[in-house]
Amino acid sequence: MIHVYETVLTDLDGTVLTPVNTVNAELTACLKKIKARGVRIFAVTGRSYSEACNILPADFPVDGMVTANGMAVFAGGTNIYQNALPAELVSELLQRAEKKQLYYQLHPVSGGRAALLCDRPCFKRLIRGERPESVHINEWLSRKDAVYRDMIWLDHLSPEDRENMSKMYFFSRNVSVIRSWIEELETISRRIPFEHFSSSKNNVEVNNQGVSKASGIEILLKHFHLNPAEALAFGDGENDLPMFRVAGHSVAMKNAPEHVKRHADEVTDRSNAENGLCKYLEKTFP
């Protein structure tokens, strides 16, 4: 017997999005049919709200979003929850990242991703040349799009800016550099408590303590009076594991790392490059 879920929770990168950061039209059509049955569709992403809206088609059927790994929650287009990093943490991590010549992105509470203009030459050097084998195509393209098209370049970071950051993102083409940075973050977190998550082995994102995709989902489900046990969750990264724990049934994408698959109830037969989410949904909601 096929279980009928009342909610679909889905990650974007590596799940909804193809390797080149597009959405398959067949998936959009499939989600529209599911939504027409009364099933709620929620996007749960590490991206900011503006980034998610920019990457998704205008007709992509979502009832709400958890963005920035739980730092902001939206019902429709209405912001029903917003969190911000401590200003002292933003200042310290920015200073350390610049000193290490590490790629970073600042994600303000409202608006697009930003960085300091003085660091632009460094960022260009970091994404120059061929894509390293360890870096996923979608992440490599996102970094290039950010540096050459989407990034808001700031002359300086004002005190008000420092108090209104929902997330900080760090990337390196070198896996060992990110591992070392994560160790440094863990040391800092003993003094200024915060959480960190990775959606790939080449990045790490910083959130407030106690904030994750799971905490954002709980806010969203409560707002819509939905039962977590009747939620079906899809993801492919380490930052999706909290979501897997809160949902009634969790599904890892075929393209997910093995340690993520081990924490899921099920794995799709096909990857995001093969429209795996759509094929799974067609089977689950015939």
Instruction: Report the distance separating Cα 257 and Cα 104, nearest Å.
Output: 24
CA atoms within 13 A on the CB side of 102: 29
pLDDT at 283: 94
pLDDT at 125: 96
- Residues whose CB falls within 8 Å of the CB of residue 6, separated by 6 or more in sequence, listed in order: 38, 39, 40, 226, 227, 230, 231
Q: Which residues, given as ranges, of the chain have pLDDT below 70?
A: 1-2
Q: Where in the chain is the domain with CATH 3.40.50.1000?
A: 7-83+212-284
pLDDT at 2: 64
State the pTM of this model: 0.89
The CATH architecture that domain 87-208 belongs to is: 2-Layer Sandwich (3.30)
The 10s digit of each residue's pLDDT in 13-29 is 999 999 999 999 999 99
pLDDT at 3: 74
Instruction: Report the distance separating Cα 186 and Cα 158, nearest Å.
Output: 26
pLDDT at 72: 96
Of 59, 71, 58, 64, which Cα lies nearest the Cα of 30? 59
Q: Where in the chain is the domain with CATH 3.30.1240.10?
A: 87-208
pLDDT at 110: 85
Q: Is CATH 3.40.50.1000 correct for 7-83+212-284?
A: yes
What residue type is assigned to position 282 of the chain?
A: E
